[in-house]
Structure 1
Amino acid sequence: MVSWEYPPVVVGGLGRHVHALATELAAAGHDVVVLSRQPGGSDAATHPTADEVLDGVRVLRVAEDPLHLEFDRDMVAWTLAMGHGMLRAALTRLIPHWRPDVVHAHDWLVAHPAIALADVLEVPLVATIHATEAGRYAGWLSSPLSRQVHSAEWWLARRADTLITCSAAMRAEVAELFEVDPDPIVVLHNGIAQRSWRANAARVRDVRERYAPGDAPVLLYFGRLEYEKGVHDLIAALPRIRRAHRGTRLVVAGTGTAHDQLVAAVETHRVRRSVTFTGHLPDADLAALLRAVDAVVLPSRYEPFGIVALEAAAAGAPLVASTAGGLGEVVVDGETGVSFAPGDVAGLAGAVGRVLADPAAAARRARAARKRLGSAFEWSRIAADTASVYAAASCGGPAELGRPKIPTGNVFGRD
């Protein structure tokens, strides 16, 4: 497996996905190597390339090159340098003594090393497309960087011998964007380890008192703070929610580039005293907070899957979620949660109101959501299905592809 993040280097859900999949495959008896990187901003002096076995998985973590590159400022150059480092490490430290049956690439950031390894080793290339640049920006590829990222995604999707997406919505998106047949694309959902989201009653009381003292309703958003996550819609809906349910508070847990805009939105909507930004929370505190709140609200405008919904369900929290992308497959409206259309502020407020007005029904839906995890989102089952994909993959061999044509307007044909 080739991934730009692997614990403890975790940027988003991708790192946790690769870790869970790799360890489950290893537990099932497969020989798994993950090719990843050391933390951003480090170098070979502070974080040299490491080769270790963790939870049955051999992890080769590549040091950053001496070049003064920064991900936020030099994304494409930084990504190319990371890929070069991964390829050198694989060819000098791994391949002389070990040969894989398949190379599995996770997203566009590792397209270069993954494609090169599959070409050189003459083995099948499996690629999981976790999200797309066009999807994140609602179909607009207006900047040179967005067009470059889209081109890398297109190259990986077109070169891969087998494609995987984490939801049916993502399968349709990938097929449309990269002009590939949707039928062979395999949909394998993300999974969840339920035990990691338990919390004792004393800790639950402690975090409730710390972040939202009193008896008024408490809502929680947790995850990355980016525009596509729709947290600004939740803040916009909060005054309406508070008129119907006095004293309602919102806790926002996470970090991201939209933090400052969200703080400004809190001022704009005059709810500064009702919103708490916690930043990143340790897993133990987050697990307790999930058990303490009246509802978890996931207002995404774009969501390839929505692993945070599984985490909330594992903790037993009532769910309110948009129907964006994979969230519509994870949260079943009226059965495992309450849903609303992405970007619909009034619909969001109404959905939250349904949960706060009937706690007993919310608790029943939360129990149903947790029960569903064991049948639909269990990692050992997902790993077994992934192994079957590996076994069925055939090697198409190297392919030289031209650049994709990128429309000047919206790639999804939207206004």
Structure 2
Amino acid sequence: MRILYLSPYPPARDGIGTYTHVLAHAVRARGHEIAVIAARPDPGAPEEVVGALGGGGEATLRAAVARFRPDVVHVQFAVPAFGARSLEVARRPATPGVPVVATLHEVSRDTALLRGPGRALYRRLASGCDRLIVHTRAARDTLAALGLDAEATVIPHFSSPPPPATGTAAGLRTRFGLGDDRVLLAFGHIHVSKGLDDLVRAVATLPPATLAGVRVVVAGAVRRRHGPFRVFEARDYLHEAAVRRLARRHGLRDRLVFTGYVPDGDIAAWFDAAAAVVLPYRDAEQSGVANLARAFGVPVIATTVGGLAELFEGSPWAIPPGAPDRLATAISDLLTTTPRTGGTTRTPVTDLDTVAARTIAVYEAVRGRLTPGNRPDAP
């Protein structure tokens, strides 16, 4: 088959772009042809990128379809991924006779944040798709609450292999002055919904003897936004500033380390350095960070929101959101029951081969079901 992806894509710094890159290459490795229409133009894009939305919009997609002649178009969607072009993407692509699949990466978060307009946006997108994919049962429940009739398939987020390591845990400890302290790692984009303020409040209540040997490392930066969605970027910067102030107020300035953007070569090293990964999220669709932590064998403390509740069902370190006291208890318990360094035993995760196979099965299903004579028209 020939699969055309519509998605953010490397070298853009975007988690969905990374997901698409890994998935597309896994699909290619299984003997299929791939091409990509990127969310935004970039002169450093790899050879499979045959266009970008840029200012061309639907015309760009239509031209790519004419040149590549895909059997399936696969949209990787979240509002932050496309910003001001989200409505443009949500309109049924100009792909007559070609089935459209959409993976909805943040349907619960987007509709909660954008409310009525967000729900209308997702209904519009769903009306133009032949199959929807979500990562969790909670996301599928969100679709049901929206009253969508589209068929939805749950395919869990895979644990993508990290880029080749160029840094080491010892090097990071030296660079950021961590010494021998145990690292509680908050990895990924800084976002107001990720509960960093709850983490600071929890750490502030740790016993002095425990606190003296702990550092909280926030390894990541605020996600760049575009167009009118830059207001959310500004909100996340304000959140970061508030977290820093909170840390100073609690006397934790030297216990909290912000690294800024993490180069690909340092990703594995940060997980190697971590005693635990902490996900004090207040809402979440799913978490690639959680899957990375599980693949590296690093213990995870996570709130029971969205797909995290499914992922860590039965874990002794699964806690309710917005409860710094429970978070502090979980941190203390983990630090007293696990080794000083992150573990190396890998726990079961949804592997890439399984996700690629199940995604290809969706392609085959929509391709076999839809013919030019029975393809539904967009309302």
Q: TM-score, normalised by structure 2?
A: 0.82
- Partner residue of 1:266 out of 230, 234, 247: 247
Cα distance, 1:168 vs. partner? 1.1
Deviates more, 1:27-36 or 1:209-218: 209-218
User: How far apart, CA to CA, are the structure 2 residues paired with 1:246 and 1:95?
Assistant: 57
User: How far apart, CA to CA, are the structure 2 residues paired with 1:60 and 1:338?
Assistant: 45
Q: For residue 227 of structure 2, what is the aligned residue in structure 1?
A: none
Q: For residue 112 of structure 1, what is the aligned residue in structure 2?
A: 88
Q: Which amino acid aligns with 1:135?
A: R
Cα distance, 1:150 vs. partner? 3.3
**What do the CA deviations read for 1:295-337 (whole angstroms, capped 9, x no partner)?**
1111111111111011122233221111211112223443xx7
Cα distance, 1:120 vs. partner? 3.9
User: How far apart, CA to CA, are the structure 1 residues paired with 2:157 and 2:165?
Assistant: 19
What aligned pairs does 1:79-90 form with structure 2 within 5 A after superposition?
85-90=56-61
Q: For residue 35 of structure 1, what is the aligned residue in structure 2?
A: 37
Please say if residues 244 and 353 of structure 1, whose CA atoms lie closer than 8 Å, have aligned partners that are also in contact. Answer: no
Deviates more, 1:255-264 or 1:218-227: 255-264
User: How far apart, CA to CA, are the structure 1 residues paired with 2:22 and 2:325?
Assistant: 37
Please say if residues 273 and 342 of structure 2, whose CA atoms lie closer than 8 Å, have aligned partners that are also in contact. Answer: no
User: How far apart, CA to CA, are the structure 2 residues paired with 1:264 and 1:3?
Assistant: 40
**Cα gap change, 1:131/1:113 in structure 2, threshold over 3 Å: closer, same or farther?**
closer
User: How far apart, CA to CA, are the structure 1 residues paired with 2:149 and 2:90?
Assistant: 22
Please say if residues 217 and 245 of structure 1, whose CA atoms lie closer than 8 Å, have aligned partners that are also in contact. Answer: no
Q: For residue 98 of structure 1, what is the aligned residue in structure 2?
A: 68
User: How far apart, CA to CA, are the structure 1 residues paired with 2:90 and 2:69?
Assistant: 14
Matched, 1:386 2:359: yes
Cα distance, 1:63 vs. partner? 6.6
Provide the alpha-carbon RMSD of the alignment: 2.8
Please say if residues 165 and 264 of structure 2, whose CA atoms lie closer than 8 Å, have aligned partners that are also in contact. Answer: no
Q: For residue 323 of structure 2, what is the aligned residue in structure 1?
A: 344
Q: For residue 148 of structure 2, what is the aligned residue in structure 1?
A: 180
Deviates more, 1:27-36 or 1:213-222: 213-222
**Cα gap change, 1:159/1:64 in structure 2, threshold over 3 Å: closer, same or farther?**
closer
User: How far apart, CA to CA, are the structure 2 residues paired with 1:197 and 1:360?
Assistant: 26
Matched, 1:290 2:280: no
- Partner residue of 1:205 out of 160, 165, 170: 170
What aligned pairs does 1:179-328 form with structure 2 within 5 A after superposition?
179-181=147-149, 184-194=151-161, 196=163, 203-243=168-208, 245-247=210-212, 248-256=214-222, 257=236, 258-328=239-309
Cα distance, 1:155 vs. partner? 0.9
**Cα gap change, 1:98/1:195 in structure 2, threshold over 3 Å: closer, same or farther?**
closer
Q: TM-score, normalised by structure 1?
A: 0.76
Deviates more, 1:236-245 or 1:278-287: 236-245
Q: For residue 117 of structure 2, what is the aligned residue in structure 1?
A: 148
User: How far apart, CA to CA, are the structure 2 residues paired with 1:294 and 1:212?
Assistant: 16
Please say if residues 216 and 246 of structure 1, whose CA atoms lie closer than 8 Å, have aligned partners that are also in contact. Answer: no
Please say if residues 6 and 76 of structure 2, whose CA atoms lie closer than 8 Å, have aligned partners that are also in contact. Answer: yes
Please say if residues 105 and 114 of structure 1, whose CA atoms lie closer than 8 Å, have aligned partners that are also in contact. Answer: no
User: How far apart, CA to CA, are the structure 1 residues paired with 2:169 and 2:339?
Assistant: 19
User: How far apart, CA to CA, are the structure 1 residues paired with 2:334 and 2:311?
Assistant: 18
User: How far apart, CA to CA, are the structure 2 residues paired with 1:213 and 1:28?
Assistant: 43
Partner of 1:105: helix, strand, or coil? strand
**Cα gap change, 1:198/1:314 in structure 2, threshold over 3 Å: closer, same or farther?**
farther
Q: For residue 404 of structure 1, what is the aligned residue in structure 2?
A: none
Partner of 1:294: helix, strand, or coil? strand
Q: For residue 7 of structure 1, what is the aligned residue in structure 2?
A: 10
User: How far apart, CA to CA, are the structure 2 residues paired with 1:380 and 1:357?
Assistant: 36
Partner of 2:62: helix, strand, or coil? helix
Q: For residue 64 of structure 1, what is the aligned residue in structure 2?
A: 54
Partner of 1:279: helix, strand, or coil? coil
Q: Which amino acid aligns with 1:60?
A: V
Please say if residues 274 and 342 of structure 2, whose CA atoms lie closer than 8 Å, have aligned partners that are also in contact. Answer: no
User: How far apart, CA to CA, are the structure 2 residues paired with 1:322 and 1:277?
Assistant: 22
Cα distance, 1:6 vs. partner? 0.5
Matched, 1:164 2:133: yes
User: How far apart, CA to CA, are the structure 2 residues paired with 1:225 and 1:303?
Assistant: 13
**Unmatched tracts of structure 2, length 5 or more:** 223-235
Q: Which amino acid aligns with 1:105?
A: V
Q: For residue 348 of structure 2, what is the aligned residue in structure 1?
A: 372
Q: Which amino acid aligns with 1:290?
A: F
Please say if residues 21 and 383 of structure 1, whose CA atoms lie closer than 8 Å, have aligned partners that are also in contact. Answer: yes
Partner of 1:104: helix, strand, or coil? strand
User: How far apart, CA to CA, are the structure 2 residues paired with 1:389 and 1:140?
Assistant: 29
Deviates more, 1:105-114 or 1:30-39: 105-114
Partner of 1:95: helix, strand, or coil? helix
Q: Which amino acid aligns with 2:332?
A: G
Please say if residues 318 and 363 of structure 1, whose CA atoms lie closer than 8 Å, have aligned partners that are also in contact. Answer: yes
Please say if residues 73 and 101 of structure 2, whose CA atoms lie closer than 8 Å, have aligned partners that are also in contact. Answer: yes
**Cα gap change, 1:111/1:129 in structure 2, threshold over 3 Å: closer, same or farther?**
farther
Please say if residues 92 and 125 of structure 2, whose CA atoms lie closer than 8 Å, have aligned partners that are also in contact. Answer: no
**Cα gap change, 1:260/1:147 in structure 2, threshold over 3 Å: closer, same or farther?**
farther
Cα distance, 1:198 vs. partner? 5.9
**When the two structures are aligned, how many residues end up with a matched partner?**
348
Cα distance, 1:187 vs. partner? 0.4
Please say if residues 191 and 378 of structure 1, whose CA atoms lie closer than 8 Å, have aligned partners that are also in contact. Answer: yes
